[in-house]
Structure 1
Amino acid sequence: MTSQDQPPHDLAPGEPFVLRGVHVPATFTAFEGGAEIVTADIAIEQGRIAFVAPSLAETPSAWRDIRLDRMMVWPCFVEAHTHLDSTQIWARSPNPDGTFGSAASAIIADRETHWTPDDMRRRMDFGLRCAYAHGVRAMRTHLASQNEQIEQRWEIFSEVRAAWAGRIDLQAVPLISTDVLADDVWFARVLDVVRRHGGVLGGFAHVSPLVDASLERLFDAADKYGLALDFHADETDDATSDIVRRVATLADRRGGGMQVMVGHCCSLAVQDETEVDRTLDLMARAGLSVVSLPGCNLYLQARAPGRTPRWRGVTLLHEMAARDIPICIGGDNCRDPYNPYGDFNPLESFQDAVRIAHLDHPVGDWPLSVTTTPGALVSQAQAIVAGAPADLVLYRAKSYNELFVRHGAGRLVMRDGIFVDAPLPDFSELD
């Protein structure tokens, strides 16, 4: 970075200032005019955005000017779908062949051998420090909830959530098969931990003789206790997998007023076009939101020895956007047997999605998928407008091309109007 790209070191807490000449994706602003990236001045006072104006507009003379001419400004991110409890175990429990089945086996073996409270707290904290350094403001994580340590794991999560309060808002969803939730005792245990810890109800749903009854009772409980719902759905290239349609049918039957998110939705990409249109129309009518996990699905889907994959594992993002279905993009698993890659960096997830799903020409409103759209469903993340919290991420870039080519190099993170020192933790801590 040049000296013009660095904030002054003597900026006093609470001192009003103006970020001059920064570049902002227009979708985050109230600007009109057609340009994808606008040049703006952003005034910040007492931790909030006072105003956003075209660059070189008049501002109060007493306010300090900070010139960051080659910086692009985004709101802080919201991670809509990840797995904090299994993160950072790749070195000790790699996936031997990259398949879904091997990933599941490796996770279970690691969980039974290593997941002590201290181990989980240490790995979760490492992951959250990565996320904080990348500008994450809020996160929804799925927690393994299918064995006798369920209560202990949720207690550990709540301890970590309390330790991170004010930096990253955390929300949890039980990761448990809908077949297991057909059992009355297990359902009661899961519902209890979700309610006690302020979580979101859900699980991973797969086609089986029990799935419809389990989904129905999950909707009943969510309706009774005012809970949101979140499902792993159709994470497969099996065209007969139709969990999303079943979930949408239930949501539509109840009037579409519940907050219901479905993740993955991969099988939609290999189904008959007529059936797909019916399902997508139903999803839109029922008010479902979707989280796509392009990085993890790219790693897992269509993997077979000696065979080049023929598809990308992503769901039908453009077709959903055409129906105004709320779309989030998430990172999913991070450095575990389901995905050896990732760093809790939503910008990386977004870049993956742009390339994999052609979310460009124009990029348009797609940046909302890692910021304000999940922010409305999980917590935090607002547009760059007057009155919003000054929780921002600044990158050395003037265009999307510069941003993506350099992978967001030269990042600055601002929280409550203050530039924070948030270094990425070193992997040696995990040795």
Structure 2
Amino acid sequence: MTRPTPEGERESERHVQPEAPAPAAPLLLIGATLPDATTADILIEQGRIAGVWPEGTDGEARTAAADRLDLTGFLLLPAPAEPHAHLDKVLTAELLRSAGGGLDDAVRAWYAYRATASHGEISARAATAAQMMLEQGVTAIRTHVDVGTQTGQRYLTALLDVRKSLLPLLEMQIVAFVDEPVTGLAGANNRAALRTAMADGATAVGGAPYRDADPVESQRTLLKIAADYAAPADLHTDETLDPAAFFLAELAAYVRESEHPYKVTASHCVSLGTQPDDVVRRVSADLAATGIAVVCCPATNLYLQGRTREHAAPRGLTALRRLMAAGVHVAAGGDNIQDPFNPLGRGDPFDTAALLVLAGHLDVDEAYAAVADEARAVMGLPEARIVPGAAAELLAIRATSVREAIARRPADRIVFHAGRMVSRTDTVRYRDDLTELTR
């Protein structure tokens, strides 16, 4: 791809995605800049970081490494993870139009379309979007996938195929996002469809309890089904600016009273941001005490929420600072990519981090942690730090600091999953006379 850049320059971008290799030989990364601004050599063996040394020091373990990669000019970071995606819906923006642009309008547009998509189309769109994320540095994705009486299991089947095909390159968790209702007699078939999805290979239980006729009972029902399969639950929780649609406190109460033993994530939690401060403090403390994590989805919720206000529109984000202060694991996800719920998006966690800085008022290190360390914690993945023994899930990006990486979001990126390079994108810049510029 070639695109114009300032001052008459040209930039060409070349992406290389190696085919899945056999188990990698030891790999030595040379001269990488770390987040603390030091430079180091990093040895990777058996999918883990075996050693970290200040650049230029001697060491026999490093000289024994079979392969070497010069990372001079690159910032080395723990790889980001995507804790909230909808790979069943991605890349449909050209096919679908959401009349009013709000959440209900997007839901109607999607429901009218979803029965028409073929297995091949679903798989192709999902695989394309997943590889977009991989190119940006994401080595683990949690995606919600519609299942239920209206949807059937077609989208799940397609995503299971995509997960299998991408397994050597990234990890994919699939949340069975069940149609509503799930409560009462009217919800019996949806509950059965959810159980079928879990038996067929879904990773976690999902749904939108706040849209059910009985939101509190819906939360309990979904967590009970999750417990039956010893699986985590990730619920779309209170995705609205209506302060009356607020069921997060009851979710925490049920987890505490039932001693629910499996991981629970509350995604969106938009209405928490509309509550009085004393309520926010109390509920945040309850979430921390029960281990419930929160995933904020800034891009989609900034796009969908507040559209009825022509001025002084609220931001549609959850209470980030209060949750973090209480000790809640707070991650952030990109959510929708070019579909009725968000016509934009490119699967880049640095875009999500930038929105956390600009709209959520987090600092740059907090913002990156939300799309990396915290995202991995929410997904139940091993820590990916640049220390001996940590999982070698890494991203090298052409930048000198986390701030610069979020600000510029350069395309030059090298992605490591399970200790081996799985994606690399290089750019070369030229003047109008085709003279190559140094980076």
TM-score (norm 1): 0.85
Matched, 1:369 2:370: yes
Q: 1:291 to 1:143 in 2, by over 3 A?
A: same
Contact 1:73 1:393 in 2 (8 A): yes
The residue number in structure 1 matching 2:194 is: 190
Q: Secondary structure at the match of 2:63?
A: coil
Q: In the alignment, what sits opposite 1:53?
A: 53
For residues 391 and 278 of structure 1, the distance between their equivalents in structure 2, rounded to whole angstroms, comes to: 36
CA contact (8 A) 1:412 1:419 kept: yes
Q: How far did residue 184 of structure 1 move?
A: 2.1
**Deviation digits for residues 144-168 of structure 1 (CA, Å, limit 9, x no counterpart):** 1233442222222211111111212
CA 1:299–1:149: 2 relative to 1, 3 Å: closer
Matched residues in 2 for 1:388 and 1:274: separation?
A: 39
Residues 354 and 58 of structure 1: CA distance in aligned 2, closer, same or farther (over 3 Å): farther
Partner of 2:269 in structure 1?
265
Q: 2:48 and 2:125 mapped to 1: Cα distance?
A: 32
Greater Cα offset, 371-380 or 230-239: 371-380
Q: What's 1:299 paired with?
A: 303
Residue 42 of structure 2 aligns with an amino acid whose one-letter code is I
Once residues 138 and 42 of structure 2 are traced to their aligned partners in structure 1, the CA distance between those partners, rounded to angstroms, is 20
The alignment status of 1:203 with 2:214, answered yes or no, reads no
Q: Which amino acid aligns with 2:119?
A: P
Counterpart of 1:41 in structure 2: which amino acid?
D
SS in 1 for 2:134: helix
The residue identity in structure 1 corresponding to 2:341 is Y
Structure 2 SS opposite 1:357? coil
CA–CA separation in structure 1 for the residues paired with 2:217 and 2:176: 18
CA distance in 1, matches of 2:177, 2:250: 19
Query: Is structure 2 residue 290 aligned with structure 1 residue 283?
Result: no
CA drift at 1:124: 0.8
Q: CA deviation at 1:371?
A: 2.1
Higher mean alpha-carbon deviation, 408-417 vs 101-110, is at 408-417
- State the shift of 1:178 in Å: 4.7
Shift of 1:275: 1.5
Q: 2:30 aligns to what?
A: 20
Q: Kindly state the Cα deviation for residue 46 of structure 1 after the two structures are TM-superposed.
A: 4.9
| Cα distance in 2 between the residues matched to 1:223 and 1:45 | 36
Q: Which amino acid aligns with 1:93?
A: L
**2: CA distance, partners of 1:74 / 1:329:** 17
1:78 and 1:380 in contact (8 A); partners too: no
Retained in 2: the 8 A contact 1:74–1:393? yes
Q: Residues 23-422 of structure 1 correspond to what in structure 2 (within 5 A)?
A: 23-25=33-35, 36-60=36-60, 62-63=63-64, 66-113=69-116, 115-182=117-184, 183-206=187-210, 209-255=213-259, 257-304=261-308, 307-360=310-363, 363-378=364-379, 379=381, 382-422=384-424
Deviations 1:75-133 (A, max 9, x none): 222111110001000011132332222211211122133x1111101111111111121
**Which amino acid is the alignment partner of residue 325 of structure 1?**
V
- Is residue 353–residue 406 contact of structure 2 (8 Å, CA) maintained in 1? no
Residue of structure 1 equivalent to 2:436 = none
Shift of 1:73: 0.9
Stretch of structure 1 that moved more, 158-167 or 290-299: 158-167
2 CA distance for matches of 1:177 and 1:206?
12
Task: Tell me the alpha carbon deviations over residues 29-49 of structure 1, each in whole angstroms, 9 at most, x when there is no partner.
Answer: xxxxxxx54433222345432
Instruction: Using the TM superposition, name which of 218-227 and 293-302 deviates more.
Output: 218-227
- Give SS of 1:231's match: strand
Q: May I ask how many residue pairs the two structures share in their alignment?
A: 401
User: Alpha-carbon deviations, 1:366-425, whole Å to 9, x = none?
Assistant: 43322233323424562122133433211111123321231133212233444344569x
Contact 1:107 1:337 in 2 (8 A): yes
Change (3 A) 1:331 1:229: same
Q: Residue type of the partner of 1:155? A: T
Instruction: Give how far 1:199 is off.
Output: 2.3
Q: In the aligned structure 2, how far is the partner of 1:245 from the partner of 1:13?
A: 46
- For 1:139 and 1:218, locate their aligned partners in 2 and report how far apart those are by CA, in whole Å: 22
Contact 1:206 1:233 survives alignment (8 Å): yes
Moved more, 378-387 or 183-192: 378-387
Amino acid at match of 1:249: A
The answer to whether the Cα contact below 8 Å between 1:134 and 1:344 also exists between their aligned partners in 2 is: yes
The CA deviation at 1:191 is 1.6
Q: CA deviation at 1:208?
A: 5.5
Give the letter for the 1:285 counterpart. A
User: Could you tell me whether the CA contact under 8 Å between 1:77 and 1:371 is conserved in 2?
Assistant: yes
CA distance in 2, matches of 1:17, 1:340: 40
Contact 2:334 2:349 in 1 (8 A): yes
Q: Give the direction of change, closer, same or farther, for the CA distance of 1:376–1:276 in structure 2 (3 Å limit).
A: closer
The gaps in structure 2 that reach 5 residues or longer are 1-17, 427-439
For 2:250, the aligned partner's letter is R
Identical aligned pairs, as a percentage?
29
1:4 aligned residue: none
